[in-house]
Amino acid sequence: MSRVPPVSVTALLGHLLQRQWILVLRRPVQLVHPLLFFCLVVFMFPIGLGPATEVLGQFAPALLWIVALLANLIGSDSLFRDDFADGSIDQLLLSGYPLYFVVIPHLLVHWLITGVILALGAPLFAYTLAMPAVAIPTLVVSLLLGTGTLTVLGALGAALTVGLRRGGGLITLLIAPFYIPVLIFGVAAVEAPLNGATASPYLALLGAFFAASLALGPLAIGAGLRISVDG
């Protein structure tokens, strides 16, 4: 006879989401670290390159996207590490719940602190780099969509290396090639308004990437966690 979970999937999602937020709030540095990293790079870039607004505006789309990618990558290493260390992952894998719903709260909280916060702060960073205002709405939307995909990809790498002591470098090697399409279309979306073109095709592709990663990513991440635990 199959095992019947003691509570509903909705209750499980709510409990796991609350738990993830509590863990984040207990470690404020985890919440502000991606934003501080983003700020440091963005505000130091004009010092190194010079104050010429034309040059800064030209490099701003690529710079903002690269920094967002690196900020996401930095936080991915510890995404499942605490749960693996205290045995929570083992309990969830044995609970009988679909792994898809077990993974979703981790992804949502990580995306909020490494993607949404950066996207909402992007207008200030764009202003610092002298980016024309016409591209700022596209920048925000592209970062919201793109960082969602980056979060799923980073979580997949974290799931596959969670049992290793130093898996950060391995995560980079595993998922960096998959980051490249998101980076290319994200930068192209922001540059399109600057060149008088429409960003809709690029945003549509970023949205398709996000939808596909959200549909298939948690399944792959759950399988990766099971492989790491069983291994």
pLDDT above 70: residue 166:
no
Q: Is the pLDDT of residue 219 over 70?
A: yes
Residue 157 confidence (pLDDT): 85
User: How distant, in Å, are the alpha carbons of 15, 82, 224 from that of 69?
Assistant: 29, 23, 22
Instruction: Identify which has the larger pLDDT, 196 or 25.
Output: 196
Per-residue model confidence as pLDDT tens digits over 47-97:
776 666 677 777 888 888 988 888 888 777 777 777 777 777 777 777 777
Kindly report the average pLDDT of the chain as a whole number. 81
Confidence of residue 170 (pLDDT cuts 50, 70, 90): low
- Tens-place pLDDT, residues 90-129: 777 777 777 788 888 888 988 988 888 888 888 888 888 8
Angle (CA) 212-172-125 rounded to 5° is 75
> Are 61 and 187 contacting, i.e. CB atoms less than 8 angstroms apart?
yes
Read off the pTM. 0.84
* Residue 190 in this model has a pLDDT that exceeds 80: yes
Query: Which residue's structure tokens are 């990580």?
Result: 110
